[in-house]
């Protein structure tokens, strides 16, 4: 099968197009890194959503709840480990951030498992009720977050070693954004390796193509799906924790805010395609930052405009998952 | 009796209890200024009227056509801002109302047609996601254009003279209520809302409405019979957008101020969704009951929860669970239970409880079956 590289070329194309418009190389590099960091964080949150859709035709409007839970759990752990966060050593800082992120993934994943059993399972194959029930789940989850953590927003300072920026000549690169890029790329690499090089990945990809056939060959696609759902929820929790540190505040509305970007990315990429999701996330992150710099007034509509352009070019998204 | 039948487009409640509930709502709202005097209760009554229209127009999409739109408040807001901007710029004249109304309607219909043609041809699930994205962009846009929309604070403007509180319809009082412009305003809202609900009943019981229901039940078969499903779905979403814009204009005429929180916010969208699903999808009457129940809960359930919260004051988590601000939590739980166990909501439950005659009638009150595409 010939690989379709055209969408991947869009990413450097957008970057090169922005270079003469931005003018100075230094601010272009800063903007590009910011765009990549934002895009990769969105990718981490969106990957689970697009996979569950591809595998089981389930669109979870409550995905934002996992993002918010991840952000809140991570914030609580980090606030509890405040001395480590304030210490002037990268290793001590990581000693607070890593447990926080792990806790966020664990809680979000566990919640995902419960959500799948209680909310999603009874409405397989019924899109209308899926949308309604998962939206209801989002409403209840958002209110429960307020019950547990209180209605006020939580302020969260980044650990000492991740504040400030590196200076390379006159190019300033924020340290935290660099970390976000590294983590995002690691997640993408891990997902790509799992999907393309392992038996499990083979089954998932086969399930996306033709679920009935996989079942006929004797594999329990239900169990596979629950696993993907839990992993996707955990990734959403990771993304939420990263986003909370990026914004330095955490509110119960964080899920509803980010889910709009996540949906745009999933639509642009083509529902169910992990590669498309990656390309879409980077495109959204880059254009949002370039246009935010060039024309702040237009920036709000830029994501919608990008989505409209891509759907005009490929109505099913960048990579259409051919079925149904 | 035949007049009533014609007014309801031959779509009778088909349940004694449903009929009683509807009569109570209609009469209660008609007599509200005299039966429940006071600024707050009149405000609640007017809001119920407006939201009945808004929820009923959403039901045309969700219940009859089987598509979920998260941009319904956007059209509501367009209608409200159309009238509000015109009244701010041109002063409190009826000509301003007319200009704003027409402008709002045109913008709403064109936008609905664009979104529909863009996203309904692929899959209905696209429509839900794309409307969410577009609506959130529009919300930010409205708060970022302060010259036009007044930004976060919104607009305050003067209503046409007849609708102002200072206008006296007649000297003195009637049944203890001053006959001023507020009263005229309330009955304007009431009559227009009533007419719009009857219009929606007419639409869903027309041949066009039958095609929509056919598409809801089985889009492939409808397409095979020869109906262009994209066109029908797009027209339905245009009609729903137009009626939502009219409801927005009514709200703007009632409250003499328009801001993003009361017209565009995602909270309002959640409210409409709750109203239609709890009331009963695909019945129009469900929207009437759902809007009434939800607005009552919004305005009076908080007091009840306050009492419960007092009772649990010592227990840390329970007190928060029953905090007056958490009323949405309980309605959210009710919403989920409704989707699972009462897909046809209050109306469906009332209809099936009134005996075998009703459930055997030709047009059953079953809620929408699900879309497979």
Structure confidence by residue, pLDDT tens digits, A113-165: 999 888 888 887 788 888 889 989 988 998 898 888 888 888 888 887 778 77
Q: What are phi and psi of A171, to 5 degrees?
A: -95, 125
Going by pLDDT thresholds of 50, 70 and 90, the confidence category of residue B122 is low
CA distance A296 to chain B (A): 11
B40-63 confidence digits (pLDDT tens): 889 999 999 999 999 999 999 999
Q: Identify which of B130, B140, B343 has the shortest CB distance to residue A267.
A: B130
Give residue B93's pLDDT band: very low, low, confident or very high (50, 70, 90).
confident
Give the Cα separation of A318 and A315 in Å (integer): 8
The answer on pLDDT for A280 being more than 90 is yes
- B371 domain residue, yes or no: no
**Half-sphere exposure at residue B39, Cβ-oriented, CA atoms within 13 angstroms:** 2
Helix intervals (H) in chain A: 6-22, 25-56, 63-80, 82-86, 90-115, 127-149, 175-197, 199-209, 211-216, 221-247, 254-269, 274-294, 299-313
Contacts of A311 in chain B (CB under 8 A): 118-119
Q: What percent of chain A has pLDDT over 90?
A: 31
Among chain B residues, CA nearest to A59: B125
Question: In Å, how far is B224's CA from the nearest CA of chain A?
Answer: 17
Residues B360-369 pLDDT 10s: 333 443 444 4
CA distance A120 to A60: 8
Q: Are B350 and B18 in contact (CB under 8 A)?
A: yes
Q: Which stretch of DSSP H or E encloses residue B171?
A: strand B168-174
Q: Say if the Cβ atoms of A300 and B141 lie within 8 Å.
A: yes
Q: Is A151 on the interface with B (CB under 8 A)?
A: yes
**Is B336 close to A128, i.e. CB distance below 8 A?**
no
Residues 6+ apart with CB under 8 A from B102: none
Residue of B nearest to A300 (CA): B137
User: Can you give the pTM of this predicted structure?
Assistant: 0.85
Which CATH architecture fits A6-313? Orthogonal Bundle (1.10)
Residue B371 pLDDT > 80, yes or no? no
CB contact under 8 A, B130 and A307: yes
H/E element, A217 = none
Cross-chain Cβ contact B328/A119 below 8 Å: no
Average pLDDT over residues A282-297: 88
B240, two tokens: 């729903």
The answer to the question of residue B367 being in a domain is no
DSSP string, B13-66: --SHHHHHHHHHHHHHHHHHHHHS-SHHHHHHHHHHHHHHHHHHHHHIIIIII-
Number of residue pairs across A and B with CB atoms under 8 Å? 107
Chain A CB contacts of B335 under 8 Å are 132, 136, 139
Is B230 or B317 the better-scoring residue by pLDDT?
B230
Nearest to A256 among B266, B273, B370 (CB): B266
Q: Which two tokens stand for residue A114?
A: 């419960």
What CA–CA distance (Å, rounded) separates A304 from A293?
A: 17
Mutate which of A56, A136, A284 to disrupt the B interface (most B C-beta within 10 Å)? A136
Q: Where are the domains of chain A?
A: 6-313
Strand A154-155 and strand B155-156: pairing?
unpaired
CATH number (domain holding residue B123) = 1.10.3470
Span B330-352, average pLDDT: 86
CA distances from A65 to A107, A183, B96 (A): 12, 22, 44
**CA distances (Å), origin B295, targets A102, B30, B301, B302:** 42, 17, 9, 11
Interface test with B, best of A59, A135, A312, A322 (most B CBs within 10 A): A135
Q: How far apart are CA B279 and CA A299, in angstroms?
A: 39
Residues of A in contact with B326 (CB under 8 A): 143, 146-147
When pLDDT is averaged across residues A33-45 and rounded to a whole number, the result is 93
Reduced 3-state DSSP string for A126-176: CHHHHHHHHHHHHHHHHHHHHHHHCCCCEECCCCHHHCCEEEECCEEEEHH
Which segment of A191-195, A196-200, A288-292, B152-156 scores lowest on mean pLDDT? B152-156
Half-sphere exposure of B21 toward its Cβ, with a 13 Å CA cutoff? 21
Q: What is the pLDDT of residue A322?
A: 56
| B83's tokens | 């009238």
Chain B neighbours among A 283-302 (CB < 8 Å)? 297, 300-301
Q: pLDDT band for B354, please (50, 70, 90 cuts).
A: low
How large a percentage of chain B has pLDDT more than 70? 92
- pLDDT at site B111: 94
pLDDT tens profile B255-276? 888 888 888 888 899 899 999 9
Q: For A236, how many CA atoms within 13 A lie in the half-sphere containing its CB? A: 34
Of A136, A263, A324, which has the smallest distance from its Cβ to B336's Cβ? A136
The domain containing residue B114 runs over which residues? 2-360
- Determine which of A295-304, A309-318, B234-243, B248-257 has the lowest per-residue pLDDT on average: A295-304
Domain count along chain B: 1
Comparing A166-170, A202-206, A230-234, which segment has the lowest mean pLDDT?
A: A166-170
């Amino acid at each position: 099968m010939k690989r379709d590289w055209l969408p991947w070329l869009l990413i450097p194309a957008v970057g090169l197009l922005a270079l003469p418009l931005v003018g100075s190389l230094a601010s272009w590099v800063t903007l590009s890194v910011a765009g990549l960091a934002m895009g990769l964080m969105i990718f981490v949150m969106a990957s689970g959503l697009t996979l569950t859709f591809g595998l089981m035709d389930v669109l979870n409007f409550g995905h934002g709840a996992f993002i918010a839970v991840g952000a809140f759990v991570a914030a609580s752990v980090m606030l509890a480990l405040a001395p480590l966060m304030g210490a002037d050593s990268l290793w001590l800082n990581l000693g607070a951030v890593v447990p926080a992120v792990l806790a966020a993934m664990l809680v979000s994943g566990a919640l995902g498992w419960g959500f799948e059993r209680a909310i999603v399972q009874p409405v397989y194959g019924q899109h209308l009720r899926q949308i309604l029930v998962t939206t209801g789940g989002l409403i209840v989850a958002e209110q429960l977050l307020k019950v547990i953590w209180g209605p006020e927003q939580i302020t969260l300072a980044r650990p000492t070693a991740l504040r400030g920026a590196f200076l390379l000549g006159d190019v300033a690169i924020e340290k935290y954004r660099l970390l976000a890029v590294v983590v995002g790329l690691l997640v993408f690499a891990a997902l790509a390796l799992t999907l393309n090089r392992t038996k499990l990945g083979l089954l998932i990809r086969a399930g996306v193509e033709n679920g009935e056939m996989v079942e006929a060959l004797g594999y329990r696609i239900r169990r596979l799906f629950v696993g993907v759902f839990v992993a996707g929820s955990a990734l959403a929790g990771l993304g939420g924790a990263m986003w909370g540190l990026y914004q330095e505040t955490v509110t119960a509305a964080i899920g509803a805010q980010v889910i709009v970007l996540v949906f745009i990315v999933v639509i642009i990429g083509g529902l169910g395609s992990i590669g498309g999701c990656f390309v879409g996330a980077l495109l959204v992150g880059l254009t949002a930052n370039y246009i935010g710099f060039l024309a702040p007034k237009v920036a709000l509509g830029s994501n919608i405009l990008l989505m409209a352009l891509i759907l005009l070019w490929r109505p099913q998204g960048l990579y259409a998952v051919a079925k149904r | 009796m035949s007049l009533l039948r014609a007014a309801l487009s031959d779509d009778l409640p088909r349940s004694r209890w449903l009929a009683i509930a509807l009569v109570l709502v209609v009469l209660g709202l008609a007599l509200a200024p005299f039966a429940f005097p006071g600024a707050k209760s009149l405000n609640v009554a007017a809001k119920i009227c407006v939201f009945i229209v808004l929820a009923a127009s959403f039901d045309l999409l969700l219940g009859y056509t089987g598509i979920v739109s998260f941009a319904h408040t956007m059209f509501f807001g367009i209608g409200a801002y159309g009238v509000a901007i015109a009244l701010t710029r041109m002063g409190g004249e009826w000509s301003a109302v007319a200009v704003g109304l027409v402008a709002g309607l045109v913008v709403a219909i064109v936008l609905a047609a664009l979104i529909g043609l863009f996203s309904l041809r692929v899959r209905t699930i696209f429509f839900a996601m794309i409307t969410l994205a577009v609506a959130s962009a529009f919300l930010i846009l409205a708060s970022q254009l302060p010259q036009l929309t007044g930004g976060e604070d919104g607009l305050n403007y003067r209503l046409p003279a007849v609708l102002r509180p200072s206008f006296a319809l007649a000297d003195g009082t009637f049944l203890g209520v001053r006959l001023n412009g507020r009263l005229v305003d309330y009955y304007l809202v009431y009559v227009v809302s009533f007419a719009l609900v009857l219009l929606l009943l007419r639409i869903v019981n027309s041949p066009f409405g039958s095609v929509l229901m056919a598409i809801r039940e089985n889009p492939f078969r409808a397409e095979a019979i020869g109906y262009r499903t994209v066109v029908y779905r797009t027209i339905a979403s245009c009609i729903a957008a137009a009626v939502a814009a009219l409801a927005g204009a009514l709200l703007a005429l009632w409250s003499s101020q328009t801001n993003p929180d009361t017209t565009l916010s995602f909270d309002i969208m959640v409210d409409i969704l709750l109203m239609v699903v709890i009331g009963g999808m695909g019945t129009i009457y469900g929207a009437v009951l759902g809007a009434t129940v939800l607005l009552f809960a919004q305005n009076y359930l908080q007091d009840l929860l306050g009492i419960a919260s007092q009772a649990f004051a010592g227990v840390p988590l329970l007190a928060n669970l029953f905090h007056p601000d958490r009323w949405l939590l309980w309605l959210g739980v009710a919403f989920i239970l409704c989707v699972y166990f009462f897909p046809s909501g209050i109306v469906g439950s009332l209809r099936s409880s009134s005996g075998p005659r009703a459930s055997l009638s030709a047009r059953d009150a079953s809620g929408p079956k699900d879309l497979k595409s």
